[in-house]
Chains A and B, each alone.
Chain A
Amino acid sequence: MDFLRPLTWDEALAYKAGRPEATPIQGGTDVMVEINLDKGRPAALLDLNPISELTGWSAEGRTVRVGAGVTYSRLIGELGSLLPGLAQAARTVGSPQIRNRGTVAGNLGAASPAGDSHPPLLASGAVVEAESARGRRMIPIGEFYTGVKRNALAPDELIRAVHVPAATGPQYFSKIGTRNAMVIAVCSFAIALHPGERRIGTGIGSAAPTPRRAVAAEEFLAGELDWDGRSALDPGVARRFGELVAEAASPIDDVRGRADYRLHSLSVMARRALGWAWKDYAGRGSA
């Protein structure tokens, strides 16, 4: 196995162009586990750690550009108010040691349906900044996940950053696991309220071959909510929203949980996350 260590971004792109089979590695919290479990051996590892520009983030207008090397710990510490949904999800990732190493870009590269970043990225409407020696490409998150552990990156492309719209309304993330820490999601759900556009964002994790939105649930809810009056949530609406979220999923039975349990708990999480978000929104209105 070759170990490639570019010092600049351009060098990284050149390496990837010459060795498209090389697996990029940043925190190593997923790539190293896969190697240790003998689930395939990359012909080469492309170590992005020396490229310091990847570890920065910047607010560009209403969007936050998060470099591919920004760890979950820094997301929690530095971006909790701008990207609350993503920061909440980051808090549930692994252990402190894992959060000190792992990155959202790594989650995107692995594209596991259980990755904790995906639901809030979907709910926020993030955009992935991919680049190769051929040029730069902006991939909307909804088009990024293409299959189980597969994504829309071309073989010579690397993730440089992810662009996440700053929150304009309440955002919540909910995850069910079998224990209180260091747990892969049995299933997860994220909601984002976008009051300016009277729009709802959702993201479902670990309950379909890819992370996905619950589009029908979003459209239903956007039309039912009392955006101006901020009146109390109709329990019937919340229940229907939960049902529509569950309908958007297509889970399987596996070691972590049964499919029917996942559908049930998704509707519970959707209802709850909506309840928390609406309480915040209605509370802000009266303040």
Chain B
Amino acid sequence: MTTVAMPNVGSALDRVDALEKVTGRARYAYENFPADLAYAVPVQATIAKGEISAVDVDAVLQLPGVIAAIWHANAPRLAPRNGDPELAVLQSSRVAYRGQYVAVVVAETLESASEAARVLRVRYDADEHDVELRPGHPGLYRPDHVNPYFPTDTEQGDPDAALAAARVVVDATYSTPAEHNNPMEPHATVAVWDAEGLTVYDSTQGASNIRDTLAPLFGLPPGSVRVISPHVGGGFGAKARAHPHVALAALAAKQVGRPVKLAVTRQQMFAVTGYRTPTIQRVRLGADADGRLTAIVHEAIEQSSTVSEFAEQTAVPTRMMYAAPNRRTTHRLVRLDVPTPSWMRAPGEAPGMYALESAMDELAIACRIDPIELRIRNEPDVDPESGRPFSSRNLVACLREGARRFGWAGRDPEPGIRREGGLLVGTGVAASVFPVYRMPSQATARAEPDGGFTVRIAAADIGTGARTVLTQIAADALDAPMDRVRVEIGDSALPPAWVAGGSAGTASWGTAVVRACEALMDVLHGRAGDVPPEGLEASADTTQEVRAQRRFAQHAFGAQFAEVAVDMDTGEARVRRLLGVFAAGRILNPKTARSQLIGGMTMGLSMALLEESVMDQEFGDYLNHDFAQYHIAASADVRDIDAVWIEEDDPGLNPMGSKGIGEIGIVGTAAAIANAVHHATGVRVRDLPIRLDKLVHGVI
């Protein structure tokens, strides 16, 4: 495959929908008001485990404006066969976690529905619950695979013997807390039934996917469900699959025979829209005196709910990062009485690389080797576990370029010795990685009689700039100026497409767009450029092309550098500088790409210092379930941040030559910061986040 010359691709163009967004004309899911609209407010379980024994529906039906109160005893039956059991809303009297939907009230106004939901009496028979992930939990088991389809465990050589024989061993256990995605726009759904079927205005990362989920749930053919989602205020994975509120809105609308709007509140999101599992990870590294790895063992334990298994691929990046003849990765899961975890920006890589890259820093210190040099020494020639060649692997180039830009040379590795007044200052580095995926998608390209073009694909722009980048790609493939090309996305009535997930959106959609445009250009050439009054259309389906792809090991890489200053009297750690250097194929739009990368790095800073969903063991609730208590980095926490990239020409990827950049920015950031904190203070924090009290622990 060769990449084609592209004048628009590679340019730092403004977003094509910027004006619509800043003037408030871009319409989000909640802002749809079909005629005869009613409002649904869900009722959430106030126990973590047990049975619903009674719901006093009659009392709330007396309240003004209330249309219906629905629970499992009077709910329409769904058909969640083979589907996600979380979507079987109001189908059972069983309560599997605190905050699970147990009823929904529909009323004429949001106020009436809220009031009725608040006073609705639900009686429970509560059971003892268990919501604590802990090592040695008797319920730990080996899942069949980890997300999305990786083997649960891998092993090569004899890692135990290699560790026993190793000159230097690092054996450390790291933990990461539950974290919640918290996109700026909370989830919202407006469901409308008519003679044709079901239409859903939703805030989603994948209209086709939501359609394909909802249709069987309600016993409909996919063609009878339409999902419309032109603008989405962020997702970070929390909108990549249908969560229970989507099914609940559709169920409520069906029951009352009117359009229904359901908005998930920020507080409710902590129970019903997914989150990142907490992890406990033991990493063991064995090395010779020169720091060459002889063994790598990464064992992760995580949680899922009793409703459904979500097994995060925490240790998977360890399978390909560094060379070592003896290696093992394992994942164990325990099913607790908690909400079901799901995808959150870089599932697997974000928590897994925090552990691995912290352990690499510990090994560098143990071997008295510069941490960059240590990584270079352990660079593999081919993917260590599969033996496949890398299509491109520029981790070393990223580390070297970052070292040059950051001023790494001459760094004194001794921890705890750089004082500036009352502050201790240090620097840290960590590697970053994210796999390259590409999934089948379809697109159409149309030549209009007025000389313009329309490209259609059910892609999603969740704030990434996808609409802009697809317009650039289409314009170049059509050899047309940007303002003559209109790209329509965010609607399941368009040609079906992969979700905005796995950092695979642009690669998947872009391939389909290029192929559709090429097909249209062929038709146009055959007609010497003549466009009939009804226009000309061509389509593409990339299923064959994607399946036929050569099986390289394909990943984007990066290096993250952090400088921190820690007040050792109070434990306040502040990140003074963050630099990310990435190798991610061709960067299609430097402006939106930089936003994606520094956005990911900021989220990584937030993961390092702030984000933590605290489980209340007594009530089974994430108790800091609002923005007053769940802290995300504010602008004032981000002093000096930059993301740059090195040129990478990898023609084996896709027609654009691009790798995904939506997630890699968060990977490794927390380790770089934790490593810098250690360099500054001599305190190794192995449990995120790096809270104030953990840094003064030795003092008090």
Contacts and interface: CB of A to CB of B under 8 A. Distances in A.
B604 to A, nearest CB: 15
B693 A258 contact: yes
Interface string A19-48: 000000000000001000110000000000
B626 A264 contact: no
Interface in B390-426: none
B35 interface: no
Contacts of B699: 264
Contact of B700 (A176, A183, A255, A264): A264
For the complex of A and B, list the 9 residue pairs with the smallest distance between their C-beta atoms, beginning with the closest: A180-B636, A261-B693, A181-B636, A264-B700, A268-B569, A181-B634, A258-B693, A180-B637, A260-B700
A182 B572 CA distance: 16
A125 interface: no
Contacts of B306: none
Given A33-B628, A255-B614, A181 B635 contact: yes
Given A181-B635, A255-B629, A265-B571, 20 more contacts: A38-B118, A176-B572, A178-B609, A178-B610, A178-B631, A179-B634, A180-B574, A181-B636, A183-B631, A184-B628, A186-B692, A255-B614, A257-B692, A260-B700, A261-B692, A261-B700, A264-B696, A264-B699, A265-B569, A272-B569
Contacts of A178: 609-610, 631, 691-692
A184 B633 CA distance: 14
Given A182-B634, A261-B692, A255 B623 contact: yes
B454 interface: no
Contacts of A181: 634-637
Contact of B692 (A33, A184, A255, A265): A265
Interface in B92-126: 118
Contacts of A263: 700
B624 interface: yes
Contacts of B569: 265, 268, 272
5 contacts: A178-B610, A179-B631, A179-B634, A181-B636, A265-B570
B224 interface: no
B255 interface: no
B154 interface: no
Contacts of B637: 179-181
Nearest to A180: B636
A269 B696 CA distance: 14
Interface in B602-645: 609-610, 614, 623-624, 626, 628-629, 631, 633-637
Contacts of A183: 631, 634
Contacts of A180: 574, 634, 636-637
A197 to B, nearest CB: 31
Contact of B633 (A33, A179, A255): A179
A186 B571 CA distance: 12
Interface of B: 118, 267, 569-572, 574, 609-610, 614, 623-624, 626, 628-629, 631, 633-637, 691-693, 696, 699-700
A181 B699 CA distance: 26
A268 B700 CA distance: 12
Contacts of A258: 693
Nearest to A95: B634
Contacts of B692: 176, 178, 186, 257, 261, 265
A213 to B, nearest CB: 22
Contact of A257 (B628, B636, B693): B693
A39 to B, nearest CB: 11
A182 B699 CA distance: 28
Nearest to A265: B570
A268 B692 CA distance: 13
Interface in A168-193: 176, 178-184, 186
Contacts of A265: 569-571, 692, 696
Contacts of B609: 178-179
Contacts of B572: 176
A184 to B, nearest CB: 6
Contacts of A182: 634
Contacts of B614: 255
A37 B696 CA distance: 33
B571 A261 contact: yes
Contacts of B636: 179-181
A182 B629 CA distance: 10
A45 to B, nearest CB: 15
B626 A37 contact: yes
Contacts of B634: 179-183
A268 B570 contact: yes
A219 B361 CA distance: 50
A183 B570 CA distance: 16
A272 B571 CA distance: 15
Nearest to A260: B700
B624 to A, nearest CB: 5
Interface string A67-95: 00000000000000000000000000000
Nearest to A269: B570
A98 to B, nearest CB: 11
Interface string A240-266: 000000000000000111101101110
Contacts of A261: 571, 692-693, 696, 700
A244 B299 CA distance: 48
Nearest to B635: A181
A236 B591 CA distance: 56
Candidate in A37, A178, A184, A258 with the most chain B CB atoms within 10 angstroms:
A178
B326 to A, nearest CB: 41
Contacts of B610: 178-179
Contacts of B267: 37-38
A272 B636 CA distance: 23
Contacts of B635: 181
B626 to A, nearest CB: 6
Contacts of A260: 693, 700
Contacts of B631: 178-179, 183
Contacts of B571: 261, 265
A9 B391 CA distance: 75
B673 to A, nearest CB: 14
B576 to A, nearest CB: 12
Nearest to B572: A176
B268 to A, nearest CB: 11
A207 to B, nearest CB: 14
Nearest to A38: B118
A258 B700 CA distance: 11
A33 B639 CA distance: 29
A64 to B, nearest CB: 29
A256 B691 CA distance: 9
A252 B610 CA distance: 20
Contacts of A272: 569
A179 to B, nearest CB: 5
A183 B692 CA distance: 14
A216 to B, nearest CB: 21
A184 B628 CA distance: 8
A182 B571 CA distance: 19
Nearest to B569: A268
